[in-house]
């Protein structure tokens, strides 16, 4: 929902651009922080979702930690001012340089995804005379019931250590003198809207925690990942139900005394705070199809081309009409997959109209590219 003041500002900014509603972002962050505080849960922000400087500043000021999946994200988190002891480093393919840099920063924890990675971190920490804190990312084989391209917790996925490798993992942990095992880590997927999925995850977390405890390992951290989704079809219903989300884990996780429960939320925090604003370059009306050609394309918003993601499309230059026209809304890139939506009902649209692609705060700006030698996408922050 855009005010007349917003629209007046948009008219003076070169399109395409990402518009960030920082007031909505702050309300979302506060809602999450207040809901987590009830149970003394710890939240790390998944930086891969959005690393716009203004966004990161607000998240850091809220007191959240940072969940990083590359050395670059660790470096950015440190530069922004996240507490080093609230930075976790996950990722299935950490390079030696990335591990060494993270060791130098004395981050809180490495979320380790293979036995070989355990051995590498142990070796690199030994060379520095350090002890690295590690959590074992376990693949729990829990179906997140989301798009197959963003499912991460099944046996067929590349992420985490599979259950049949845990005995070997335990032996490695016992002999690795430069590692400190602090907990277990899970992440089953993204854009999860069925909260019952998390009940199944809790059951598996309880089972794996017991498995490690029976073998003499003390577990300080239960990291259950994130993946909470947003409502892309109703972007004005903007703040997820964090209270219901955290209550699931409070009700179904078996948390021992002195154990901490950690979360890694990304999309749920930032997804609704941004829209991609684009201008109509041309309208092509045909016998079978009507096309709206925008000045934004898959280079600015990759998600629809990458995994057929839905974003609500609005013509913010015109009022809604009773009899809308159906358009395929496409971009200027020389690829047939450069399409934001097919048969989208919109008011009769003309060259120069402004189109908003909603709910682009997560995996929008961060995935922009220079394909076709496109320029950097512009950014406009709310006042």
DSSP category for residue 332: S
| Residues 68, 74, 76, 82, CA torsion sign | positive
Q: How much is the pTM? A: 0.93
pLDDT at 11 over 70: yes
Same domain, 233 and 264: yes
User: Structural domain of residue 257, as residue ranges?
Assistant: 22-271
CATH number at residue 10: 2.40.37.10
Same domain, 56 and 181: yes
Residue 374 near residue 299, CB atoms below 8 Å: yes
Same domain, 33 and 11: no
Same domain, 121 and 212: yes
pLDDT at 180 over 60: yes
Radius of gyration of the chain (CA): 22
**Residue appearing with tokens 């036995």:** 115
pLDDT at 143 over 80: no
- State the total domains in the chain: 2
Mean pLDDT of the chain: 93
Domain final position from 246, 271, 296: 271
Supply the pLDDT for residue 159.
60
Same domain, 100 and 224: yes
Same domain, 256 and 290: no
Same domain, 141 and 217: yes
Coil, strand, or helix at residue 249? helix
pLDDT at 133 over 60: yes
pLDDT digits (tens, 9 = 90+) for 309-345: 999 999 999 987 767 899 999 999 999 999 999 999 9
Q: How confident is the model at residue 44 (pLDDT cuts 50, 70, 90)?
A: very high
Domain final position from 245, 271, 297: 271
Supply the pLDDT for residue 324.
86
Lowest mean pLDDT among 8-22, 155-169, 260-274: 155-169
Same domain, 247 and 332: no
What is the C-alpha separation between 192 and 211, in angstroms, rounded? 27
Q: Which residues on adjacent β-strands are paired with residue 325?
A: 346
For residue 312, with 0-12 CB atoms within 10 Å meaning exposed, 13-18 middle and 19 or more buried, which class applies?
Answer: middle
Average pLDDT over residues 101-110: 98
Domain final position from 271, 303, 332: 271
Lowest mean pLDDT among 29-38, 40-49, 54-63, 132-141: 132-141
């Amino acid at each position: 929902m855009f005010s007349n003041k917003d629209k007046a500002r948009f008219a003076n900014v070169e399109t395409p651009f990402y518009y960030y509603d920082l007031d909505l972002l702050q309300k979302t962050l506060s809602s999450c922080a207040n809901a987590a505080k009830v149970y003394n849960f710890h939240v790390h922000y998944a930086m891969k979702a959005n690393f716009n400087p203004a966004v990161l500043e607000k998240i850091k000021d809220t007191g959240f930690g940072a969940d990083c999946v590359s050395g670059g994200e660790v470096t950015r988190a440190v530069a922004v001012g996240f507490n080093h002891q609230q930075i976790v480093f996950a990722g299935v393919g950490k390079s030696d340089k990335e591990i060494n840099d993270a060791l130098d920063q004395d981050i809180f924890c490495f979320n380790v995804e293979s036995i070989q990675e355990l051995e590498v971190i142990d070796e690199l920490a030994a060379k520095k005379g350090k002890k690295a804190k590690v959590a074992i990312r376990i693949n729990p084989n829990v179906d997140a019931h989301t798009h197959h391209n963003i499912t991460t917790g099944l046996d067929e996925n590349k992420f985490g250590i599979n259950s049949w490798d845990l005995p070997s993992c335990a032996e490695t942990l016992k002999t690795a003198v430069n590692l400190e095992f602090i907990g277990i880590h899970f992440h089953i997927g993204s854009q999860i809207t069925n909260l019952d999925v998390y009940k199944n995850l809790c059951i598996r977390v309880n089972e794996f925690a017991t498995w490690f405890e029976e073998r003499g390992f003390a577990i300080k951290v239960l990291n259950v990942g994130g993946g909470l989704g947003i409502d892309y079809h109703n972007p004005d219903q903007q703040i997820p139900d964090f209270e219901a989300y955290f209550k699931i884990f409070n009700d179904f996780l078996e948390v021992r005394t002195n154990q901490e429960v950690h979360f890694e939320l990304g999309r749920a925090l930032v997804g609704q705070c941004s829209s991609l604003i684009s201008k109509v370059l041309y309208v092509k009306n045909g016998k079978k199809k009507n096309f709206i050609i925008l000045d934004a394309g898959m280079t600015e918003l990759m998600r629809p081309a990458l995994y057929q993601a839905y974003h609500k499309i609005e013509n913010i230059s015109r009022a809604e009409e009773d009899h809308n026209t159906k358009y395929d809304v496409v971009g200027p890139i020389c690829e047939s997959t450069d399409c934001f939506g097919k048969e989208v009902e919109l008011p009769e649209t003309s060259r120069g109209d402004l189109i908003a692609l909603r709910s682009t705060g997560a995996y929008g700006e961060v995935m922009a590219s220079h394909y076709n030698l496109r320029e950097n996408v512009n950014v406009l922050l709310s006042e």
